[in-house]
Structure 1
Amino acid sequence: MTEIDAPLSWTQERIWFEEQLRPGDAAYNMPVALRVQGPLDTVRLRRAFDALAARHEALRTVFGTVDGVPVQRTVEGLTVPVETQDVRALPDPAAAAATALRRASRARFDLARGPLLRVLVVQTADEEHLLLLTAHHLIADGWSFGLLFQELSRVYAEPADPGLRPLRRTYADAVRAERAELDEAAVDRLVDWWRRHLDGVPRVLELPADRPRPAVRGHRGARRRLAVDAATAHAVRELARAHEATPFMALLAAFGVVLARHTGQERMVVGTPASTRGAGTRDLVGCFLNTLPVKVDAADDPTFAELLGRVRRDSLDAFGHQRVPFGRLISGLAPERDLSRNQLVQVFFNVLPPAVVPDLAGCRAEALPFGDIDNKFDLTLYVGTEADGGLTLDAVYDAALYEGERVADLLEQLRGVLARASAEPALRVSEFPLSTPRSAALLPDPAAELPVSVPESLLDRLAKHTAASPQAPALVAGTTADGGVWSYAELDRATDRLARVLRERGIRPGDVLALHAARHPAVVLGILAAVKAGAVPSGCRAVAYTHLSLPTLTLCELLLVSVFLHRSSASHYEY
């Protein structure tokens, strides 16, 4: 075997360093699943992938280091492994196939040995197979899968002469050209532009979470999907056209409404992919992708039409400077590393092109929605287009942070914003209703009369006990010298009389009454009498510190104790 070393592209370099921080992580695995119905020839399929590996050097690429610098190596003779499994005889073929696909999609790649594309074929019925392609992001992007499926169709149908044009350049050629064009000075100029462009925009977009954020971010992802009908999707496209925008811009503006309402942030950054392919690289398999932090500016509660105009402006500006390496943008704009979250971009947005599936002679293939996957961001929203023109909202989220119900509600809210914005673009961001069927079921009917539970007051409880058991002990003072035992009736009568005297002395509702009878049972009388008079009982020290601005009268210990000890003598109630 011969090996040819080449540098990494800017994007590959960032992914490679991420892999070194998380060895064995599956976050950069790219699984694509298909259901194939018909007489699939697995021998022919394996030969077709051998031919594709010989054609595209990215499928024969591995990664290593030279003097500590990462490089990619093209290994001649490296092939794409095609594994076959037959689960027809198992009790539940569908469940067994799903388990096999899930395990294969998450299995780690050996970057140093390769190969970095693998294929799994699971036969579930006599003429039904599930086909899984899993590639590492270092060697492929979404465009690469579409290209592979187109070429696979031709090689599978006509293995001897598929009619494919020879490739005029290699992926390594494209990387060298990128490095020559984007030298350090050019990158520094781009980073400076982005620094000015994102000035004043928070570097963190904090969606409310259901659980505390772990100190170190994991990649355990889950997903929720929601369909948008064709009529609403058509209205969104017409809205974009009316404002000289693209559907991408209209969808991002609607997503921005939901994010702004959830986070309370007026300005935010949402990541989106940007292709670095040119005319000479459209027929190459490889990683030609960059991440752009697009600004969404919802300051001053704009109308949706105004927000769309801002998103249009900022998107055009961003894509006009899309060559900036995202890794360098992070080090220039958000250099402080936080292991609990991604730097600069925590929410990602991607409008997918129409799905491409292979045309395998004699078979019918269809894209198969994949289950839970690993995630690279807190939340990623994929928007796909269906055959009838409708849309699919596909959210991949961090399962360590969010419950599925929260994400499902967010998708419902986004669908509602798309419908309302298309009909009423003059609505302001704050005016969009975000109620969903689930949240509406949890909230009470605003027109219904709600039961109000008012806790019993101290005086209500005293009155209740006095009425029920007037002679029962209410206050035990200890010894006879201290006042003995007071019944509820005695306590009620004494505090009524003392409250009357307090009112006669000028106590009004809300006044503070300082009780100077510390550590004596008599203070109970003072508290109850003060409450009956409408005053706020308090100790003298507390009054000195907390009620300096309130009217205050001091009820002295001599008076309280006198009342307490001589309750049997009427003369002592003349105070």
Structure 2
Amino acid sequence: MDDNITAAYLARYRDAVADDPHVAPVTGAQRRFLTLRSLSHGTAPVVVPLYFRFPRGTVDVARLEEAAACLAARHAALRMRFEVAASIPVQRLTDPRGFVRRVIAGPGENVAAALRRELLGWSADGPVLRLLLATGDDQPEDETLAVVVDHAACDEQSLGSLTDGLTRAYRERTSARDVRSEEGARAVGDYRDTVERQLAAERAASAQSSLDYWSERLSGLVPTGLALRTVTAGPGEDDDPTGMLQYRRPAAVGTERTALFPALLGATASAVASLASAAAQGDSTPLLGYPWGGRPLGAAPVMGCFLNTVLFTAGAPDDLDDVSDRWWDDIDHADTPLDEVLRVARKRGGAWSGALDALLTLEDTTRRPPLELGGVEGRETHLRGPALQSPLAVSVSQSQADLLVRMGWNRHQLAPAHGQTAFDALRSALGGHLDPAPDRPATVH
């Protein structure tokens, strides 16, 4: 048998539960999310929220709930529940269900805070797709719809299917029962086939040649220690653990589009490096993670979680050529599951615990259809989300008009002044890598 985590997982799965038609294995990304969840008792699962503002009275709750159930009938990933069987994580198929809840901001609370409270209280029991329709005195004419998915059931490529599918199901008023009888069996088969193809790709990417590559990449690694920092929470920060700053800059065009992701990697590494002295580690290496991947070759375009978190070790974040070269080299080995890379590090006896200093995501919003309900297109907004899984998280949304650059920080690990320092470094480095056209003002959340 291959000496890798994916092969060992599949062997145990096939020995114990493969005969159950309602149970499927999990991908490497799902395995990581579920492992972190099991180790973080009392911590809410990692979720992916999208927020849309509609004029009050636009959304019919019963109709939206049926549309959500219809979408779940069409996409098996939204019908899965995660559990442990024979000591391994698996996903079990359930009946499609829509979940819509009204959220009313309490006294002294705005809509954003009310939604954040709901997300911090998210339980792993229940549907992986949930819709929260929030109202408050701070938005007298609008209501905010949060479309929230458990990250173990959704990746960036799934978001377009999510908004398009909800729009279509709401418009057509199709019964979830009818969809399940017509399309449900095919959807389940497509999803299972895609999961199995993904695991085959991950197993192949755990070959010795890839492990040797990552072993070399981890050679001499000195972590910053940023992920191990703790600070005393300020007033109210236990209930509001995430700080956020954001700004807009001109869209990347021409050759800048090719250089955009390496530029973002370098800028994020610079943000981490600006705090390294505060972590008292001296000359250290920023450790970043970013999602990469898509559907395996030949797979159906199903919703699900088929990404991998790729490790990036920034050597010289100010040198864009160096960052680009490192990134292009890594892409050839980007399918190696992160837990396999961590195992390589442990075999080397290095100091890396697997914790990341920052996570970087880039979404091309031009590929995601808008959410339209009752003939009204929702106005997407960006709110500060629940607790982060790393000290820093940089999220960039790319549209035809501009780049929205957001940086969140974990207030239990970084003080507000450190968040501002990291944001200033991020912004300065990105301006140095890209066209230094005037940026739009920053916004604090």
TM-score under structure 1 length normalisation: 0.61
- Residue 364 of structure 1 is matched in structure 2 by 377
Kindly tell me: are residues 110 and 272 of structure 1, through their superposed partners in 2, closer, same or farther at Cα, counting changes over 3 Å? closer
- Root-mean-square deviation (CA, aligned residues, Å) is 3.7
Matching of residue 375 in structure 1 with residue 388 in structure 2:
yes
Q: Which amino acid aligns with 1:52?
A: L
CA distance in structure 2 between the aligned counterparts of 1:334 and 1:106, rounded to whole angstroms: 32
Alignment of 1:343-362 (within 5 A): 343=354, 345-354=356-365, 356=368, 357-362=370-375
Counterpart residue type for residue 157 of structure 1: R
Tell whether 2:119 aligns with 1:105: yes
Distance across 1 between alignment mates of 2:333 and 2:64 = 41
1:98-497 correspondence to structure 2 within 5 Å: 98-111=112-125, 114-124=126-136, 128-160=142-174, 169-183=189-203, 186-204=206-224, 206=226, 211=231, 221-230=241-250, 233-234=251-252, 237=253, 240=256, 245-263=258-276, 265=283, 267-278=285-296, 280-281=298-299, 283-298=301-316, 304=318, 307-334=319-346, 343=354, 345-354=356-365, 356=368, 357-385=370-398, 388-389=401-402, 391-422=403-434
Distance 1:381 1:91, change over 3 A: closer
Counterpart of 2:59, as a letter, is L
Tell me if structure 2 keeps the 8 A contact 1:207–1:262: no
SS at match of 2:43: coil
Give the 3 Å change call, closer, same or farther, for CA 402–261 of structure 1 in structure 2. Answer: closer
1:144 corresponds to which letter in structure 2? S
**Displacement after TM superposition at 1:49 (Å):** 0.7
* Distance (Å, rounded) in 2 between the aligned partners of 1:219 and 1:10: 31
Corresponding residue for residue 11 of structure 2:
none
The verdict on how the C-alpha distance between 1:336 and 1:360 changes in structure 2, with shifts beyond 3 A counting, is farther
| 8 Å Cα contact 1:62-1:73 kept in structure 2 | yes
- In the alignment, the residues of structure 2 paired with residue 126 and residue 262 of structure 1 have an alpha-carbon distance, to the nearest angstrom, of 41
Aligned match of 2:64: 45
Deviations 1:311-366 (A, max 9, x none): 1111111111111011111122146999x996152222222222743022322312
Aligned length: 397
Pairwise CA distance, 1:196: 1.6
Give the direction of change, closer, same or farther, for the CA distance of 1:225–1:238 in structure 2 (3 Å limit). Answer: farther
Contact 2:362 2:395 in 1 (8 A): yes
SS in 2 for 1:402: coil
Q: Aligned partners of 2:174, 2:53: CA distance in 1, in Å?
A: 26
Aligned residue type for 1:79:
R
Q: What letter corresponds to residue 430 of structure 2 in structure 1?
A: L
Q: CA deviation at 1:119?
A: 1.5
Other-structure match for 1:443: none
Give the superposition deviation at 1:280.
4.8
- Deviation (angstroms), 1:238: 5.7
Contact 1:37 1:128 in 2 (8 A): yes
Checking the alignment, whether the CA contact within 8 Å between 1:342 and 1:377 is kept in structure 2 is no
Residue number in structure 1 paired with 2:279: none
Q: In 2, are the aligned partners of 1:292 and 1:322 still within 8 Å (CA)?
A: yes
Question: Could you say which structure has the greater relative contact order, defined with CA pairs below 8 angstroms and 6 or more residues apart?
Answer: 2
Asked if the contact 1:223–1:373 (Cα under 8 Å) also holds between the matched residues in 2, the reply is no
Q: Hey, what's the Cα distance between the residues in 2 that align with 1:386 and 1:404? A: 29
TM-score, with structure 2 as normaliser: 0.77
Deviation track 1:153-199 (CA, whole Å, cap 9, x = no partner) reads 1111122499x996665322222223334438944442222112332
| Alignment correspondent of 1:69 | 88
Q: 1:32 to 1:219 in 2, by over 3 A?
A: same
Change in CA separation of 1:344 and 1:219 when aligned onto 2, cut-off 3 Å: farther
What is the distance in 1 between the residues matched to 2:198 and 2:246? 39
SS of match in other structure, 2:305: coil
**Structure 1 stretches of 5 or more lacking a match?**
425-436, 438-575
Q: 1:261 to 1:386 in 2, by over 3 A?
A: same
Q: What amino acid is the match of 1:143?
A: Q
Give, as a single letter, the amino acid of the residue that structure 1 aligns with 2:266.
A
Rounded Cα–Cα distance in structure 1 between residues aligned with 2:104 and 2:358: 39
Q: 2:267, 2:144 → 1: CA distance?
A: 36
Shift of 1:116: 2.0
Gap change, CA 1:335 and 1:228, over 3 Å in 2: farther
Rate the CA distance shift 1:78–1:261 in 2: closer, same or farther, 3 A.
closer
User: Is 1:201–1:267's contact at 8 Å kept on the other side of the alignment?
Assistant: yes
**How far apart, in 1, do the equivalents of 2:345 and 2:157 lie?**
29
In structure 2, distance between residues paired with 1:401 and 1:68: 32
Q: Which residue of 2 aligns with 1:554?
A: none
Question: SS of the counterpart of 1:201?
Answer: coil
Paired amino acid for 2:359: F
What stretches of structure 2 of length at least 5 have no aligned partner?
Answer: 1-19, 277-281, 437-441
Identity of aligned residues (%): 23
Q: CA deviation at 1:145?
A: 2.7
| Distance in 2 between residues matched to 1:276 and 1:334, nearest whole Å | 28
The DSSP-based 3-state class of the residue aligned with 1:170 is: helix
Q: Is the 8 A contact 1:83 1:121 kept in 2?
A: yes
Query: Which residue of the partner structure matches residue 81 of structure 1?
Result: 99
- Distance in 2, Cα, partners of 1:248 & 1:273: 12
2:152 is paired with a residue of what secondary structure?
A: coil
- CA displacement at 1:18 relative to structure 2: 1.4
